[in-house]
A and B are shown apart, each in its own frame.
Chain A
Amino acid sequence: MMLNYLCSKFRPQGGKPKVVLAPAKDNILVDVLFKAVELDICRPVIVGNSDLLAGVAQKYGPAVSDLELIEQAGDFESIKLAVKMIKDNQADILMQGDTNRKDFLNLVLDPGKGLARKNSYSYISLLMSPKDNRFTMITDTFIHTLPNLQEKNVIIENALKLALLLKIDRPKVAVLAAIEKVNPRISSTVDAAILSKMSERKQFGDAVVEGPLDIDCATSREAAARKKLDSIVPGDVDIYVVPNVESGYAFSQMLAFVGKMPHAGVLAGTAKPVVVNVPFIGFNEKVAEIAISAMLL
């Protein structure tokens, strides 16, 4: 559903980007990439060992004319090669293959050798409501354990960039905390209040950032009205900013699994798009992640 929607609404600007999958192994991620190729989202570059490349050539070679295969043994060396290709503009998007996520991210997010500046990136869970095909973002659900104010600022900026690409008009952002009142003992409420004030001063452009909001106020206009909270954000939120990674996990996963909403993830704020292999994402949503990366270019 999310994938169909993205494909119908959005097309990458310019030519089809090259996605380099590294290290490619004989698994589902290769199929994910070729599904994206079939949908005309991108061109594939596969980095892997010779046996695997032979298999890929046999399976997909006849149908895919611009297939690029690069032989490289070893997970670490493969990733390094792929990162270099991106830095040299030989490819556009890095897609994590079947490898240890810690090693992958440490390499890719290395301030000098990798694809991101320090303190510039965050992770966004993207969910789609089956009721009205509306996107909801929850962030940061992976990178920041307990973001401080400065980090939350970056987290919001990154989410707003994605909102713009998803054509969300005048995004509404809820900065979540345990209570809707500012409590000096609870830093999440203090940060939220400052971000809200920054928004009032138009420091986030057109977006409306509101906080602190507890989850009932954020998700229901009526509940917010009961707590005498006057704002246009409650009940109409595009982006939820969570106070810590644990609450981000709980929130996004309850919506995804109990609420049965299709869900994908986006590493945002890197110099070039990176598709991270995060567990619990469905096949079509993994393809959707490539489509979103193409939009981020």
Chain B
Amino acid sequence: MINNFARIYQLAKEKGPGKLVVLAPEDREFMNAVKIARHEGYVEPIFIGNLAKMQTAADELDFNIDQIKRISCVDPQEIADYGIGMLFKKETELVSKGQIPTSYIYRAVIKEEQKKGVKNNISVASLLEVPGCDHLVAVTDVGVNIAPDYEAKVEIIKDAVFLMNLLGYEFPQVVMLSANRDYGPTLQSYLDAQRLREEFGDGSGGFEIRPEHSVAEIFDSGKASLPHIFLAPDLDTGNIMAKLNYVIPVKRCAVLLSSAGPVAIPSRSDFTESIVRDMALGVVLADRIKEKNRTE
């Protein structure tokens, strides 16, 4: 079981370099992340984007990119389609977002998934390292589904369970966040949680459902042990849960696990350290997927 980010870096180094397509590493933070990830031996990158902008960013960092394959493309949707297409054609092991809005990447992944016909819904999970917690904590969905209905929530949990399985968590615990109060109407998020409990409470989904529905309840139970997965009721909540690293001492990375492999999803506001972590996680996940496919 991988229980901290130090272990992720170690494994990325051991198993790397993974073949990585970077979508528009056109600013300093993204380019610097590629430079470091390559230097550490995590990745062997291919760039897609505006050649001039990428060159300028690299020059600023004294990063010689002559030996790196670069594909010229300026339209964000074309960049995303091309890179994600390579992932689905197995021409790369993983993809990382650079300086383009994530929605283009989601669109590209959904298009490929529909062609392939395996997955109906995609989601992005954030992985948190929380001080004092002896395992990593996934928060999902933090990217795609604005207000997922019950069926979408089932898909989102499955994605997160698969992610945690790959990281060595065989039977992850899930807390379905809500805000059930003894005031006002019963929340849809609570009703959905009850339905999930009815359907999967027996463990048939490959995960355990915890009784709590909020962080306070977890700490109030005395054990204060965080679950392995937090299911957010909506995108607003997922985002807030996942991105508190500027106010409390948590570290974070994020990934979209497509059926063809991982797509690292740094936020456009993220800095180098965090982007490197996203890439390292992607490398480890790609390796574990390969391993899994080989043994099955």
User: Hey, which bits of chain A sit against chain B, CB under 8 A?
Assistant: 100-102, 105, 142-143, 145, 176-178, 185-186, 188, 214-217, 219-220, 222-224, 226-227, 235, 242-251, 253-259, 279-280
Contact = CB atoms under 8 A, between A and B. Distances in A.
Contacts of B238: 178
Given A142-B181, A279-B220, A280-B216, A254 B236 contact: no
B182 interface: yes
A246 B189 contact: yes
A256 B220 CA distance: 12
11 contacts: A176-B236, A216-B267, A222-B271, A226-B269, A235-B246, A246-B177, A246-B178, A249-B216, A253-B216, A255-B244, A258-B215
Contacts of A246: 177-179, 187, 189, 232-234, 236-237
Nearest to A229: B269
B51 interface: no
A46 B170 CA distance: 54
A244 B29 contact: no
Interface of B: 29, 130, 146, 177-179, 181-185, 187, 189, 214-216, 218-220, 224, 232-241, 243-250, 267-271
Pairs A-B, 3 closest by C-beta atoms: A223-B269, A253-B215, A259-B248
B234 to A, nearest CB: 7
B240 A102 contact: no
B244 A215 contact: yes
A219 B244 contact: yes
B269 A224 contact: yes
A23 B224 CA distance: 32
A257 B243 contact: no
A223 B240 contact: no
A250 B29 contact: no
Contacts of A142: 181, 183
A250 B237 contact: yes
A227 to B, nearest CB: 5
Contacts of B244: 215, 219, 251, 254-255, 258-259
Nearest to A226: B269
B145 to A, nearest CB: 10
Contact of A247 (B184, B220, B240, B267): B240
Contact of A250 (B182, B224, B241, B246): B241
A177 B214 CA distance: 20
Nearest to A102: B182
Contacts of B215: 249-250, 253-254, 257-258
